[in-house]
């Protein structure tokens, strides 16, 4: 049905462009801000092994499924799921999977933009030498002052949202593709420079041991849930972004080969971020399990006391900003595409409406760090609530629903037409997507609910 169709929004100019875009969506704050600190909180090497297993068994098969659905439907995730439900002759309520993904991406961007705004603020602080020779109290005060100042946070949140919407407004090739063609190579170059810098510290071997020597006594069901949630978060699964990007994928491109490349590149970036960060942490006798403050409190202290720290501190926060921007443009794209398709409005209008709504929710996230700090639901402020709901609940559940639809609802011949895999490869993917991926997610949720 859809083999010869093309999305009304356009398509990527090449396989390489799609790889850059999807890798850009996957490579973001999840790799550079979140992965190092959750690794630190969960014991290092053992957590990395569980995370890599989650990528292989859950992430890759579900990413293949999500891209397949996107290219088959050639529309926004909501309309894609509606069209494919009709094509497969199943309950039309499967379109709610598209709704859930679009909402998850929207909620993530609301707080993602705030954190990305912090990276912009820290670019300025690094440039003006605010970290140089500062002690731990001064660095902590810098961060606390930023958190306590809603006006400053809203300024940077606004600047980041405007940068995001500018690129999305230009369309698939004119905006999304042009952005990632610059951002991704720049990101990799900066990351390699930082790894080289980390190798010059005396604690490089200690950092490697922390990252790659497993201590399975640190692993419990909560750590597995965190690893699984992060596998979805970092690969942008279950949030509509990959399905939307898949809808712009040319027909001749191999979905499976491309997915392996994207997942591999994303994992390499996460590991390189750890390799760059932990030697700096240990060289300065800092705490590896410093939580979210690892990036904004621990590392500035390290940069402030190292030779060349001014330059590499500046480069690090530029890297963080580039990574955030390459992901943010994919998080809002499903909502923009849906508005264009369903509300008969121009792309720039869709960008204004969706961007403004996301910005407004982001202002609430800013307030959760200061004037609304005491307002909590389930013992979490708005930022913590959005992070937990999306990464630990909505994304894995969305991924499980995509796996069930692709494995059980979508007609086998339609999946075969899109994937064009050898028989053995298709059967292996089909087995994982039908049985292993959804069962693994379901078992972890049973534990969260206290059933197991």
pLDDT for the residue numbered 291 = 62
pLDDT for the residue numbered 99 = 94
How high does pLDDT run on average in the chain? Answer: 86
What is the chain's length? 452
Reply yes or no on whether the pLDDT at 355 is more than 90: yes
Crossing angle of the two packed helices 309-343 and 77-88, in degrees rounded to 10: 50
pLDDT for the residue numbered 447 = 64
Q: Using one digit for the tens of pLDDT, what is the confidence trace for 19-60? A: 888 888 877 777 777 787 788 778 888 898 999 998 988 889
Sign of CA dihedral 166, 171, 176, 178: negative
Reply yes or no on whether the pLDDT at 18 is more than 70: yes
Domain boundaries, the chain: 15-364+391-448
- Token pair of 284, please? 């300065």
pLDDT for the residue numbered 2 = 45
> Residue with structure tokens 């994937």?
419
Indicate the pLDDT class of residue 137, thresholds 50, 70 and 90. Answer: confident
Burial of 166 (0-12, 13-18, 19+ CB in 10 A): middle
- Token pair of 273, please? 């971020």
pLDDT for the residue numbered 3 = 47
The mean per-residue pLDDT over the stretch 335-363 comes to: 93
**Least reliable range by pLDDT among 38-42, 155-159, 361-365:** 38-42
Architecture of domain 15-364+391-448: Orthogonal Bundle (1.10)
With a pLDDT cut of 70, the percent of the chain lying above it is 94
pLDDT for the residue numbered 5 = 64
Is the pTM here over 0.75, yes or no?
yes
d(CA 330, CA 168): 8
- Token pair of 281, please? 């942490």
66-69-72 Cα angle (round to 5):
145
């Amino acid at each position: 049905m859809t083999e010869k169709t093309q999305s009304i929004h356009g398509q990527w100019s090449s396989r390489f462009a799609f790889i850059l875009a999807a890798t850009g969506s996957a490579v973001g704050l999840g790799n550079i801000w979140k992965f190092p600190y959750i690794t630190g909180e969960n014991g290092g090497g053992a957590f990395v092994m569980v995370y890599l297993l989650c990528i292989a068994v859950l992430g890759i098969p579900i990413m293949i499924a999500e891209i397949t659905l996107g290219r088959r439907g050639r529309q926004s995730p909501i309309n894609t799921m509606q069209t494919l439900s009709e094509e497969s002759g199943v309950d039309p309520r499967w379109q709610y999977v598209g709704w859930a993904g679009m909402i998850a991406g929207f909620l993530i961007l609301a707080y993602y933009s705030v954190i990305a705004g912090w990276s912009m603020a820290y670019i300025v602080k690094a440039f003006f030498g605010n970290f140089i020779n500062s002690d731990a109290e001064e660095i902590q005060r810098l961060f606390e002052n930023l958190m306590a100042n809603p006006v400053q946070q809203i300024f940077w949140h606004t600047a980041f949202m405007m940068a995001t919407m500018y690129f999305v407004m230009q369309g698939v090739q004119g905006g999304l593709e042009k952005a990632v063609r610059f951002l991704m190579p720049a990101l990799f170059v900066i990351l390699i420079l930082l790894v080289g810098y980390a190798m010059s510290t005396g604690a490089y071997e200690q950092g490697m041991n922390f990252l790659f020597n497993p201590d399975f006594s640190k692993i419990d069901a909560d750590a597995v849930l965190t690893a699984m949630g992060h596998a979805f978060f970092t690969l942008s699964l279950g949030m509509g972004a990959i399905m939307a990007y898949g809808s712009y994928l040319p027909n001749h491109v191999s979905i499976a080969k491309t997915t392996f490349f994207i997942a591999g590149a994303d994992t390499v970036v996460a590991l390189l971020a750890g390799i760059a960060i932990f030697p700096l942490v240990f060289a300065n006798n800092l705490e590896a399990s410093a939580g979210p403050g690892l990036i904004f409190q621990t590392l500035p202290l390290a940069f402030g006391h190292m030779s060349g720290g001014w330059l590499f501190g500046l480069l690090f926060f530029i890297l963080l900003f580039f990574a955030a921007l390459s992901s943010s443009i994919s998080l809002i794209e499903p909502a923009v595409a849906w508005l264009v398709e369903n509300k008969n409005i121009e792309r720039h209008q869709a960008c204004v409406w969706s961007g403004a709504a996301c910005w407004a929710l982001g202002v609430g996230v800013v307030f959760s760090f200061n004037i609304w700090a005491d307002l909590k639901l389930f013992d979490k402020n708005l930022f913590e609530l959005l992070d937990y709901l999306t990464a630990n609940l909505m994304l894995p559940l969305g991924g499980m629903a995509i796996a069930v639809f692709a494995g059980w609802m979508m007609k086998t011949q339609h999946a075969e037409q899109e994937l064009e895999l050898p028989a053995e490869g298709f059967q292996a993917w089909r087995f994982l997507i039908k049985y292993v991926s959804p069962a693994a997610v379901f078992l972890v949720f049973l534990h969260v609910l206290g059933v197991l």
